[in-house]
Structure 1
């Protein structure tokens, strides 16, 4: 019997090849797209879950409010990890990680730039799952000048994974002994370091400072439920260990500090929440956000629904053409049960074929999708364990739903009614189909508007006046490696034709170097009048090189010795301080601790200028107060170059570098590229939106194409009569199109306000954002109408041009 169902289903599907092809293509396209998005979402949700103790690991964060200034850090104090383990019995272990920054590693006679280096406690292997290939995890990082490396690094530098006992030279200064080789850290981790250097090599790690925060600190609890107990203990812990230091540094107790409206708090973030729910200062790597997971999940669901709606629409539309078949089968003795199984078998068979095609297509497109999304997703045995059952469920559910109308509705009618054609209601009788068409285009218009808004915001970011000019600025990132010759390098570059300006400092708007200091407005040292701004050390060439503008006062001067105590503030700082004319006013920089007379230890700073506000953080954040101090910081070298002959100039710059540092590779980038990289996730989201929106529209149009063909087929005789009576092609096209266009218009009316609300919520994440203009909504609606009309017109014109003799011959 089952064999007969399949055989009959094949015959029926083959007989209606056009509808079958549209059904399979639309459903396969929708399922393939949905699969790719599901892979992305699963990858995002899997971050840090490779750790076997992931549910018991938490990171300690800090929140600081000083006066009106608020900052949130993902780092904590040097002694915190050791203290937590000693103070609380329910803390099984604790460990610290500190990013080391760019480092040069010796290989043969050359130095290779490595960025993924971190300092770590020996306890890191007790907390995180970092399987060691060779070496002893219990002792690997206990001694100073020891390092644990990944499998890839061992092969890169020693051509073997058995590298224990070998030495690595960092920055041409110190040899570190390899004491362990671990497996490469999975990409789904919030940190991906290749080198873990013992924190015992870093004397500051043994500091007992409780008012300094620069270590990512993790605790492993004996029971995951104890995290609430630990979080509740933090205020008492801070009072116990930081109270005396706060009295010394700020001249007040913790109670006085909080009474003034300030606070210093700690909180916990679950390890598995870091990637999607944490974007604090001091993160070990770029994180994502749950917002994009929700958006992509919704898109996957919508596209799958559009594909399923197409399938159901065409299945129900085609079923009325089979009413006579049902009548004949019932007259010949076929039971309702047989008919139900027959219709369901056809529907499930189509779904199964579409699913197989979708799997093949998704596998083939996965490399392209990885390139687009910046992922490294692969199909593994573990992924197949949940993928195969899920797809089988989709086949059964979608196939059953699509086949349910003909299976249960048509099979219930009496043969006499079926054979008299009482079930053929044509397109106008398809209330369900009309609703489904509206839903399809509702989703399509929603995606079109979303795509346009995202593209407009990205364009806004690219064209907004940032307060500095990022174009034609070359950044030499490792100029500090030149040591005392860094100044010579800067001077020699300044004399090259094509170099307009040069400045030496690690503090740039497009990199991650940040520093904060406390400033008081007046000599009362009132915390309510304190300022906790970014404080950047720059030279006199910084503002001209960055092409910044002064709002008042002057720039630093090399000729004025007094500028060693001078500062330049931005407009946001001037507004915060409340000075009508900030120039020549004095503020007080906290140096920490007290003087002999008991007063806070401060340095007088006179304001010589106010620079116009410039964006040094993401456009998601408002411009905060900034203080620029005068000094020499060799962290990086920024060079403003002429746009002509850049390749020739680059060759000269590299030549100058090689003369001064022949064994160290120059590490450089252009500032506009660094800026674009900071918004790479938004750019990828925009590209993915465009592709998925296009696919959603194609799938919706496939269904509309099939329904238009069905409607034209249902009204063949009517079209013939109208043509005989003198109707031209345009009249017939308008007649066949108006019902569909009406449905698209309804979809536009429903989707427009909903899309505006959703995308407006998305834009709220940006402190500086574009607005959703009326033309965005109008363009999306007009585009949907044009696409729908073109799709319908193909079938309508074909029907209108048909010879009426053919359709009326049987009459």
Structure 2
């Protein structure tokens, strides 16, 4: 009982911080001292001395540990960390397996996080990013919806500004590229067309020049800072001229800063859009380039301050804009607004003006990374549960000493988070190592992502690691926190309980289910890739060297190239067949005046023979046949069938109207895959004219490198301005199917990670299983069990789980590819027992090697040593 004259504040402070076992003893000593001082010095001084003595006692040996509040939580967390570090150190092998597998898996997650973080930066630099939109179009031709386009009619924005006040519009033109001659230097240049309002609300820096007038006059151009550095390094470019192939001579009116990497608008030059009508007059652009029906050349960007007029703009686009089409029954389109910061990443829209990244690859990569991470989490859970006997005794002792469920749960959760943070350190090392390869997996990813470590990115990584640790520790934390202290200390009962836990087995099955899916995916994709490259496309693509004419006279090139003994034939075409390019042609059937669209290709009279295309009926083109007026054409078998022309012989002589001219079918060719293996063969027309862009050289040589050097020499003698652009046709087709190679790389990389993680987990489980059964092994060997029998006994449980994973994963992968992925291919391979069986054999062999390394050592152990130790 407190003496009434002792200072209340000092007493309460002493009672709060003093340990309970010391309190009564120290309280009596302090009170006796207080009473003596009161008699000796008086009450006030005695109180001061008492307070001073209490304050002097505030030291660790006297203070009690808090049981609540921030101090208590900090102390508790510190003890969790200490125990966790001791457990990780005590179980080095299992800690290594967990940390290594989790770090490998986390590296995949870190790569995806880095990619998404970079992509979300696109167009964020614009000052009015939430108020700038691009108009996108959804065209409809003859009641058939076509692909959504990023482009829109040239004058759509101007019409809108006349009807809606308070908005601003800038009009951009399609990508411009070609060889540029500037300051006596020839360089390839890429750019865009833009009007004088380009800088009104798009945040690009004009270093030199007038924002309001630099792009007003025709044949004006702004050059990027980097291009100026390469051409006009020591000269002021403003006022100088530059000649760009396909555009003409332009006046440099300013210098613009290089666009940020995270901008979907990329350019080295900006040409005034007022130049395009003059290019059309010169025949360099189609006369219809600026008509309302022409949706594939121009882009309208709209700034709506404070989004005040957004509803009015959307209403105008929906109701008024379609009325400008000349024949709405034949062709029309609907329009909508796309926020500028949702272009990349964004939906799959054709005719994009810059780099494009659709949502699907991001979703696929995210799902794959999550699957890999889940596999590593399964490892952690499996090994934690496998070691549950030893940890259960620890939990039992702690519970007998008063530990609550929440403290046990917190202990195992903190342990998982610490392990995850250790894994993050190693995962960042893997991230740096895998960064370049990961960027190379995705088409054009080097243009869009950097994956550079920054404070922001590292912060996201740490959050990701903590979340991963929380998820990984969830099952063990729940499991151990719910154990009763009595059951935890009864090891025999504990072993019986754990032997009936199917959860761990389910995790192993899930891991290897993912592994067999990834292995089969690589094998099947590789087969489809090989099938695509070897598919008979209806023409001979071997030893064909395609040379870009770049505006040179075809006949001069033919004459010079045929002088080379290695060049046996030269033909000309408007594009390269089989690589995903084709043109559309509008025909009028003179029998019923129906207007239809077909695919067409301009070729010369040597093309069929050079490409080994079979002429089924009729004749080939003759040299110079359609030079003055187009009057004849060749069609494919599908054309004859679709137009109901009877047999190929009966189709000869049928007349169609092409651009106002009557054109007669004079020959029918076999169906060829003129577009690519992803497109059905449609009605196809071969035309003869002068719209050639490529020379097709048939090469007969055993020294291809030497032959290319000779072709380059001929090219340089004819064209001193442009560099030779040539590539073998089979390589071009192979490059077109590069997406399948990328697909294989992704699944191969992920499959490697999944199998590595699963194998590590299986290794750990096999190791722990054999360690806990050493006494049983010793007894069995004593009673005559052979090593082979013991290996079978120790391994059969694991092989059953792997076999179950194969039975689950194989049908899933088969269905995924056979019914979904390959079903999208027009020409696809079949999945046979070879692909399925080979994948299963590979995985089972790997599992066998993983398990046998542990079971073999255990089976060969001397039973005398084992039983003596036990």
- Same-fold call, TM > 0.5? yes
Instruction: Describe how 1:692-711 pairs up with structure 2 within 5 A.
Output: 692-711=750-769
Q: Which moved more, 1:732-741 or 1:131-140?
A: 131-140
| 2:544 paired residue number | 473
Aligned partner of residue 698 in structure 2, secondary structure: strand
| 1:92 paired residue number | 168
Distance in 2 (CA, whole Å) between partners of 1:285 and 1:467 is 34
Residue 288 to residue 644, structure 1, CA distance change in 2 (3 Å)? farther
For residues 118-162 of structure 1, the C-alpha deviation after alignment (integer angstroms, 9 at most, x for no partner) is 322333334644333333433321111211232322222223797
Distance in 1 (CA, whole Å) between partners of 2:542 and 2:310 is 48
Aligned partner of residue 470 in structure 1, secondary structure: coil
| 2:325 paired residue number | 242
Aligned partner of residue 779 in structure 2, secondary structure: helix
Q: Given the alignment of the two structures, is residue 797 of structure 1 paired with residue 797 of structure 2, yes or no?
A: no
Query: Which protein is bigger by CA-based radius of gyration?
Result: 2
Distance in 1 (CA, whole Å) between partners of 2:308 and 2:656 is 46
| 2:718 paired residue number | 660
For residues 409-467 of structure 1, the C-alpha deviation after alignment (integer angstroms, 9 at most, x for no partner) is 34x323x7605543223863332211111111122222222222322222222121222
Aligned partner of residue 668 in structure 2, secondary structure: strand
Distance in 1 (CA, whole Å) between partners of 2:314 and 2:734 is 38
2:522 to 448, 451, 473: 451
Answer whether contact 1:719 1:800 (CA < 8 A) is retained.
yes
Residue 639 to residue 286, structure 1, CA distance change in 2 (3 Å)? farther
| 2:445 paired residue number | 375
Distance in 2 (CA, whole Å) between partners of 1:397 and 1:213 is 52
Answer whether contact 2:581 2:675 (CA < 8 A) is retained.
no
Distance in 2 (CA, whole Å) between partners of 1:4 and 1:648 is 74
1:393 to 441, 466, 480: 466
Residue 357 to residue 340, structure 1, CA distance change in 2 (3 Å)? same
Distance in 2 (CA, whole Å) between partners of 1:553 and 1:127 is 60
| 2:53 paired residue number | none
| 1:570 paired residue number | 636
Distance in 1 (CA, whole Å) between partners of 2:119 and 2:440 is 16
Distance in 1 (CA, whole Å) between partners of 2:251 and 2:459 is 43
For residues 696-721 of structure 1, the C-alpha deviation after alignment (integer angstroms, 9 at most, x for no partner) is 11101111111111111121111111
Q: Which moved more, 1:393-402 or 1:753-762?
A: 393-402
Aligned partner of residue 193 in structure 1, secondary structure: coil
| 1:604 paired residue number | 662
Answer whether contact 2:416 2:470 (CA < 8 A) is retained.
no
Distance in 2 (CA, whole Å) between partners of 1:50 and 1:451 is 40
| 1:502 paired residue number | 570
| 1:597 paired residue number | none
Residue 41 to residue 466, structure 1, CA distance change in 2 (3 Å)? farther
For residues 459-500 of structure 1, the C-alpha deviation after alignment (integer angstroms, 9 at most, x for no partner) is 2221212223333222222431x3x4x421221102311112
Instruction: Describe how 1:190-209 pairs up with structure 2 within 5 A.
Output: 190-203=264-277, 209=291
| 2:41 paired residue number | none
Residue 516 to residue 84, structure 1, CA distance change in 2 (3 Å)? farther
Answer whether contact 1:502 1:640 (CA < 8 A) is retained.
yes
Q: Which moved more, 1:689-698 or 1:228-237?
A: 228-237
Q: TM-score, normalised by structure 1?
A: 0.87
Q: Given the alignment of the two structures, is residue 184 of structure 1 paired with residue 261 of structure 2, yes or no?
A: no
| 1:598 paired residue number | none
Aligned partner of residue 665 in structure 1, secondary structure: coil
Q: Given the alignment of the two structures, is residue 648 of structure 1 paired with residue 648 of structure 2, yes or no?
A: no
Shift of 1:322: 2.9
Q: Given the alignment of the two structures, is residue 404 of structure 1 paired with residue 477 of structure 2, yes or no?
A: yes
2:199 to 122, 125, 140: 125
For residues 591-620 of structure 1, the C-alpha deviation after alignment (integer angstroms, 9 at most, x for no partner) is 2xxxxxxxxxx3211111122222333432
Q: Given the alignment of the two structures, is residue 150 of structure 1 paired with residue 224 of structure 2, yes or no?
A: yes
Q: Given the alignment of the two structures, is residue 16 of structure 1 paired with residue 81 of structure 2, yes or no?
A: no
Answer whether contact 1:540 1:558 (CA < 8 A) is retained.
yes
Answer whether contact 1:568 1:610 (CA < 8 A) is retained.
yes
Aligned partner of residue 160 in structure 2, secondary structure: helix
Answer whether contact 2:542 2:729 (CA < 8 A) is retained.
yes
Aligned partner of residue 479 in structure 1, secondary structure: coil
Shift of 1:408: 0.9
1:727 to 785, 808, 819: 785
Answer whether contact 1:104 1:113 (CA < 8 A) is retained.
yes
| 2:10 paired residue number | none
Structure 2, gaps ≥5 residues long: 1-74, 281-288
Q: Given the alignment of the two structures, is residue 525 of structure 1 paired with residue 586 of structure 2, yes or no?
A: no
Distance in 2 (CA, whole Å) between partners of 1:684 and 1:417 is 51
Distance in 1 (CA, whole Å) between partners of 2:654 and 2:115 is 54
Q: Given the alignment of the two structures, is residue 743 of structure 1 paired with residue 801 of structure 2, yes or no?
A: yes
Residue 761 to residue 126, structure 1, CA distance change in 2 (3 Å)? farther
Answer whether contact 1:145 1:175 (CA < 8 A) is retained.
yes
Distance in 2 (CA, whole Å) between partners of 1:381 and 1:730 is 55
For residues 281-313 of structure 1, the C-alpha deviation after alignment (integer angstroms, 9 at most, x for no partner) is 644457454332222111001001001110111
Distance in 2 (CA, whole Å) between partners of 1:58 and 1:657 is 43
Answer whether contact 1:341 1:407 (CA < 8 A) is retained.
no
2:108 to 21, 33, 37: 33
1:217 to 295, 299, 314: 299
What count of residue pairs does the alignment treat as equivalent?
776
Structure 1, gaps ≥5 residues long: 247-253, 592-601
Aligned partner of residue 578 in structure 1, secondary structure: coil
2:359 to 290, 294, 318: 290
Distance in 1 (CA, whole Å) between partners of 2:404 and 2:294 is 81
Residue 4 to residue 393, structure 1, CA distance change in 2 (3 Å)? closer
| 1:628 paired residue number | 686
For residues 346-372 of structure 1, the C-alpha deviation after alignment (integer angstroms, 9 at most, x for no partner) is 333222111111112212321232234
Distance in 1 (CA, whole Å) between partners of 2:151 and 2:90 is 68
Distance in 2 (CA, whole Å) between partners of 1:278 and 1:547 is 41
| 1:489 paired residue number | 557
Answer whether contact 1:520 1:587 (CA < 8 A) is retained.
no
Cα RMSD (Å) of the superposition? Answer: 3.3
| 2:506 paired residue number | 435
Shift of 1:166: 4.0
Aligned partner of residue 445 in structure 2, secondary structure: coil
Answer whether contact 1:66 1:532 (CA < 8 A) is retained.
no
| 1:80 paired residue number | 156
| 1:595 paired residue number | none
Q: TM-score, normalised by structure 2?
A: 0.82
Answer whether contact 2:795 2:855 (CA < 8 A) is retained.
yes
Distance in 2 (CA, whole Å) between partners of 1:469 and 1:420 is 75
With CA pairs under 8 Å and 6+ residues apart, which has the higher RCO, 1 or 2?
1
| 2:618 paired residue number | 553
Distance in 2 (CA, whole Å) between partners of 1:427 and 1:160 is 79
Distance in 1 (CA, whole Å) between partners of 2:742 and 2:337 is 27
Q: Given the alignment of the two structures, is residue 112 of structure 1 paired with residue 195 of structure 2, yes or no?
A: no
Aligned partner of residue 367 in structure 2, secondary structure: helix
Residue 225 to residue 685, structure 1, CA distance change in 2 (3 Å)? farther
Aligned partner of residue 203 in structure 1, secondary structure: helix
Shift of 1:765: 3.2
Distance in 2 (CA, whole Å) between partners of 1:775 and 1:269 is 51
Shift of 1:209: 2.6
| 1:596 paired residue number | none
